[in-house]
Structure formats: structure tokens, C-alpha cells
Amino acid sequence: MKKPILGFAFLFLTIPCQARIITVDDNGPADFNNIQAAINDEDGDIVIVRDGTYTGEGNRDIDFLGKAIIVRSENGPENCIIDCQASYGDPHRGFYFHSGENRNSIVQGFTITNGFDGGWDCSGLCSGGGILCLGASPTIINNIINVQLCQ
């Protein structure tokens, strides 16, 4: 009688765990209507952002909060745009990595546009209007970044 129970225990231990997929859509049914809320939800998930243009709070200055999470567009950067709506007087960026994120923190498949940091790096160049990494090394794959130049 002990052998079948032991066999079932090994069966459950060998079934791989799958990450929960969270969806974001600001115009329709989904788990969340902004990207930051989906990231805030849990660690170790995959966040799929549906096609559209994402603006405003929760869809700019996106912070992974040190989480090992995948945030990706559903159909690539041509179809999923993060419009930071930034200006010199109102600076914003697409993503901000600053909590020790590593290669397991992945951002993939977005067009990030109209970002403006307003700050300067040590060489006198504008820094981080699209994606800023400070003390972090995330994986950044297949993104298009069109940001405003410093003036």
C-alpha cells in the first residue's frame, strides 16, 4: 500500500510549475487596466500587454520593484506603445530599473515614445528617457525607443 502513495508523491513533484499569465488591456476585459498594477500583483508571473497605446499613471515610470517577472507585449513593438507624454516640466520615462533587477526581469516588445528624463549623466548627455537602469541589469528585448532629446 505504501508504494502507490509514494508513486503519486513523485508524480506531483515532477509536474513543472507554470507561471500565472496576467493580462493588461486599457480598453477591454483583462486582469488589469495598467502595466504597473499587473507588476504589483505578484512575483514570478508573465504579464502580457495587449495591443494599444498606453498612457498616464501606471503606464509610464514602470517599476519592476526588484521582481523577476516578464512583461511583454502581445504582438510586438509595432502594436504596443507606451506613450510617456513627458515634457521638460513634466518628466517621465517608460521603465525604471533600480532595485537590483537581474536577467530574470524581462521587458520585451514595446515601443516607448515621448519619454523625457530631464536629467543629465556624467558626460553631459540626457539620461533614461526610455529605460533607465541604476544598479540593475534587466533583460531588454526587441523594443523601439523614441524619446525627446535634451534641450
122 is a domain residue: yes
Domain extent, residue 37, equals: 19-146
pLDDT value of position 21: 94
Specify the pLDDT at position 87.
85
- Specify the DSSP element, H or E, that contains 97: strand 95-97
Q: Residue 80 corresponds to which cell in the numbers above?
A: 504596443
Q: Is the dihedral of CA 20, 26, 30, 31 positive or negative?
A: positive
Considering the entire predicted model, what is its pTM? 0.82
**Any domain includes 6:** no
Average pLDDT over residues 7-15: 51
- Computed over every residue of the chain, the mean pLDDT equals 86
pLDDT in tens, 39-68: 999 766 999 999 999 999 999 999 999 999
Q: What is the CATH number of the domain that holds 78?
A: 2.160.20.10
Asked if 53 and 63 touch (Cβ cutoff 8 Å), the reply is no
With a CB cutoff of 8 Å and minimum separation 6, the contacts of 105 are 64, 66, 67, 68, 69, 97, 136, 138, 139
State the average pLDDT over residues 57-81.
97
What's the number of domains the chain is made of? 1
Q: Is residue 93 part of a domain?
A: yes
Residue 8 within any structural domain of the chain: no
In angstroms, rounded to a whole number, what is the distance separating the alpha carbons of residues 79 and 141? 15
Q: Which pLDDT does position 2 carry in this prediction? A: 56
Is 73 within a domain? yes
